[in-house]
Structure 1
């Protein structure tokens, strides 16, 4: 589907800090980056005002055009803005890790460089280019012991990782012919599968609840309530001295709650 500049600008204005326009244009890495950094700390969101036409053009290029572009240039040109972004996001991820994860074992040797490398690599995969994650990670792991225990360590680690990521930059492989599904399609498929799993689980809960209350699949609210009351009265611990009465009473109540969901009106507050 051809992307529209006007739609992209509208999404930028409405939810640009959360990468809504990047989601529309199929820029998955930048969508995630904008969510985690609120539009690249706000600066990237403002810069997108100028860059959106270019993003739309890239999104509308077919796989063959992208393949020719990648073959004409072995490596993408060095982009100072991207490099600065890699360093900043690497430091940001490292600082967040210092605040929340510093109590973990081997934090300075493993956890911190992993977090910094993740931030650097996320920026390096924005748009049509990517980098070599293992080498970026190795650079972080090698640099981290040098600044062991320092609160300023995220900066040199991020610099080392960013230099490595820049040295190994390359174009992403274009999707093969017949497999040009966009980001929206991937998300739609993922959400569909998740929804199917949730619905399947919910249906299984309903079946089990109907079985507990000895009801049919088309039971009305009145039938559900009547069946619950009868069984609750029978199995109430005050009326039933058996050792299983309490557990059975709880099971009956939980089954009733499950079946009530289909009849309860939704509330919007």
Structure 2
């Protein structure tokens, strides 16, 4: 069945970052490459916007397009493409780094694996890009070149030159692809899924075994340990408790009540944060807010306290006081109670003093 240019563009629009338009147009390898890099981080996705008519003509074996291919075949070796050559270098380095990063530090014979496995990633990246579309080549030449560079040379940055030379050898030996292999959509999807599993395994291995983050003190800590510490932190537990409250509200009281609860928990007015700055708990009255404010202003006034950070603390206190003042005035005008007083019942004759 002939492929539609309109459908191809729709696939590009809604799933281009995952290579959906390439899967639709039977370009399985390119689909996987786009899936592994998000459309080459958007650059390849933008290029596809202009190349789409050519992709559709290739897939449908349009007569004019096939005639052009016949002329190219008569010239012998496929014409050199700078974009394809750069793509071979990029994906060669991309897959090399994925393989290298996935090798655990405590893996047996880690030095040998770090020497032999990354060049395989380089060769695979070059091979995949070189076999996109109507061109094809063998895996062995770039593999031999990449291995030779890694084994013979040990200088920093040799991986780049290995990818460059291996791409050059592959480009020199490439051939025309006479005809696409007929593959069903399910088979093509299965191949992409297998590639995605391999890619996920490599990334997951790197994140679990080797990925580190640096603290403010310059200390490095494994990402897996950082995640465990985060999940046991008070902030995360507070977040989990809030999500639990929202879930129970949604189950028993519906969306409207849940949304109001969410607004309270999110502290969109800054009420809870302002109370914390003034050293007060939820339920503080206007009088308590004023007393706390006066004490803190005297303590942190820049003219009386010359310690570092005093001015910032003073401004923070002023802002918190102003925020609570606006909340009190707004609720007074609406006949409501101030922060933390919603369950205290009606106010007496004295009421709230003006802020």
TM-score by length of 1: 0.62
Measured in 1, the distance between the counterparts of 2:9 and 2:102 equals 36
Measured in 2, the distance between the counterparts of 1:81 and 1:12 equals 20
Measured in 1, the distance between the counterparts of 2:127 and 2:160 equals 15
Deviation at 1:99, TM superposition (A): 1.9
Deviation sequence 1:159-209 (CA, Å, 0-9, x none): 12111111112112315xxxx634526337889xxxxxxxxxxxxxxxxxx
The answer on whether the counterparts of 1:135 and 1:165 sit within 8 Å (CA) in structure 2 is yes
Distance change >3 Å, CA 99–CA 83, structure 1 → 2: same
The answer on whether the counterparts of 1:95 and 1:154 sit within 8 Å (CA) in structure 2 is no
Measured in 1, the distance between the counterparts of 2:188 and 2:171 equals 29
Given candidates 170, 174, 177, the residue that maps to 2:175 is: 170
1:14 counterpart SS class: helix
Alignment RMSD: 2.7
Q: Which residue of 1 aligns with 2:142?
A: 136
Deviation at 1:81, TM superposition (A): 0.5
1:158 counterpart SS class: helix
Distance change >3 Å, CA 115–CA 165, structure 1 → 2: same
Measured in 2, the distance between the counterparts of 1:183 and 1:84 equals 31
The answer on whether the counterparts of 1:108 and 1:144 sit within 8 Å (CA) in structure 2 is no
Deviation at 1:58, TM superposition (A): 0.4
1:74 counterpart SS class: coil
The answer on whether the counterparts of 1:108 and 1:145 sit within 8 Å (CA) in structure 2 is no
Deviation at 1:132, TM superposition (A): 2.0
Measured in 1, the distance between the counterparts of 2:186 and 2:72 equals 24
Distance change >3 Å, CA 84–CA 138, structure 1 → 2: same
Q: Which residue of 2 aligns with 1:181?
A: 182
Measured in 2, the distance between the counterparts of 1:169 and 1:90 equals 16
Q: Which residue of 2 aligns with 1:157?
A: 162
Q: Higher relative contact order by CA 8 Å / sep ≥ 6: 1 or 2?
A: 1
The answer on whether the counterparts of 2:138 and 2:170 sit within 8 Å (CA) in structure 1 is yes
Matched, 1:127 2:129: no
Q: Which residue of 2 aligns with 1:21?
A: 21
Matched, 1:72 2:74: yes
Measured in 2, the distance between the counterparts of 1:22 and 1:57 equals 13
Distance change >3 Å, CA 190–CA 93, structure 1 → 2: closer
The answer on whether the counterparts of 1:28 and 1:183 sit within 8 Å (CA) in structure 2 is no
Distance change >3 Å, CA 102–CA 181, structure 1 → 2: same
Deviation at 1:74, TM superposition (A): 2.1
Larger Rg: 2
Number of aligned residues: 186
TM-score by length of 2: 0.48
Deviation sequence 1:119-160 (CA, Å, 0-9, x none): 111111111111121111111111112333x55332112112
Measured in 2, the distance between the counterparts of 1:108 and 1:185 equals 36
The answer on whether the counterparts of 2:17 and 2:39 sit within 8 Å (CA) in structure 1 is yes
Q: Which residue of 1 aligns with 2:45?
A: 45
Distance change >3 Å, CA 47–CA 118, structure 1 → 2: same
Matched, 1:146 2:148: no
Measured in 2, the distance between the counterparts of 1:10 and 1:167 equals 36
Please show how residues 170-249 of structure 1 align to structure 2 within 5 Å.
Answer: 170-175=175-180, 181-184=182-185, 186-187=187-188
5+ long unaligned stretches in structure 1: 192-269
